[in-house]
Amino acid sequence: MPLTRRHFIILAASVASTTVLSNESRADAPVLSESDPTAQALGYKTDATKVDKTKFSHYQSGQTCANCQLYQGKPGSANGPCPTYGGKLVDAKGWCNAYVKKT
């Protein structure tokens, strides 16, 4: 599913807020909840296999936060910050519709 204008605006706002927060420590960042409004809009799941594939046809098997270009967690970590959600911690096995394959 292509990003809608609304999703783009949410993403732009998230990236802008992340820029402001970029110099702050992320060690105590809050964990992103699936019930977070932005997470719901982008179909975030802590377990990528639970993604609603009908609603988010962009998802492909094998895609997880750990192999997303936006993921800022250390390799092998259980979770890590994501700029899409203002630096909140996302699950390494998670996924959302803002996924960008790491190159």
Provide the terminal-to-terminal Cα distance of the chain, rounded to the nearest Å.
21
Name the nearest CA neighbour of 73 among 86, 87, 84.
87
Q: Which is nearer to ligand SF4, 29 or 84 (CB)?
A: 84
Three-state secondary-structure class, residue 80: strand
Among 70, 86, 87, 89, binds ligand SF4 (CB under 6 A): 70
Minimal distance, residue 64 CB to ligand SF4, in Å: 7
Q: Does 68 bind ligand SF4 (CB under 6 A)?
A: yes
Minimal distance, residue 25 CB to ligand SF4, in Å: 19
